[in-house]
Amino acid sequence: MSRVRLVLLGVLAACALSAAASTPAFAGSCTGSTNWVFCSGAGTELASGTLVLGLGGLSLLASTVGLVEVKIHCPDVHVHGLLLSLGHFHGTLTYLGCRLVKPTTCKLSTANESKIVASFNGELTGGKSATITGSAAGEEFAVVEIVQKSSCAIIANYKITGSQLVSIPKGEESVAEQEIVATKENSHLKFGVEPASYSGSANVMLAAGGTWLNMFGV
């Protein structure tokens, strides 16, 4: 074998190894997985990095700081997420127009009233359920700032941390839009150091279109 041929084979082998290293490995499958995975309506696993987008209506975060009841209402939420292999996903929730409705003597900072961005990681826990956690250190979703309105006693920055179990009512159906529902009963959150609850919902779809579902390989 000529030296030139050996060199060419070596280059091809190196390229093959490089390609393999840069290609996501899929241990899951829509027909033979031991994990819940994201599948197309045709029954093939969606590629890692598949973009999903969504919109939601009113969201409510509730807690108590000391003896002071805290309620934050956000009328509009935008979802931006990426589906990963083995039923994992991550993304951001952008809340617009939020208001602190309790206590009435306080308000959110101007920046937070304009926008609150929460980052998350998630994992399917069933065909109709998933758990999401804050993706920053300490499972942090976001930080909100409460400021003075009139005699506010809880002025401070508060981290929102923890996890939230969400339901996906049509998760095992092949549909164009999947609804994601969070209820306060399934919240494992903290507002600062105090327990907190969250409720809200959003409809999400594949950015490229098509139908999708959550499937456990059999």
Residue at 17 is within a domain? no
Spatial separation of the C-alpha atoms in residues 5 and 17, rounded to whole Å: 18
CATH code of the domain covering residue 105: 2.40.160.20
SS3 call for 12: helix
Residue at 18 is within a domain? no
Distances (CA, A) of 100 to 119, 157, 205: 21, 14, 30
User: What integer pLDDT is reported at residue 217 of this predicted model?
Assistant: 56
User: Each residue's pLDDT tens digit in the chain (218 positions)?
Assistant: 443 333 333 333 333 333 333 323 334 578 776 889 999 988 889 999 999 999 999 999 999 999 999 999 999 999 999 999 999 999 999 999 999 999 999 999 999 999 999 999 999 999 999 999 999 999 999 999 999 999 999 999 999 999 999 999 999 999 999 999 999 999 999 999 999 999 999 999 999 999 999 988 54
Residue at 19 is within a domain? no
124, containing H or E segment: strand 115-126
Read off the pTM.
0.85
Residue at 14 is within a domain? no
Residue at 23 is within a domain? no
From 197, 201, 200, select the one nearest 61 (Cα to Cα).
197
What's the token pair of residue 29? 């499958």
Domain encompassing residue 141: 37-216
Whether the CB-CB separation of 97 and 75 falls below 8 Å is answered with yes
User: What integer pLDDT is reported at residue 117 of this predicted model?
Assistant: 98
Name the domain count of the chain. Answer: 1
Residue at 107 is within a domain? yes
Residue at 172 is within a domain? yes
Residue at 28 is within a domain? no
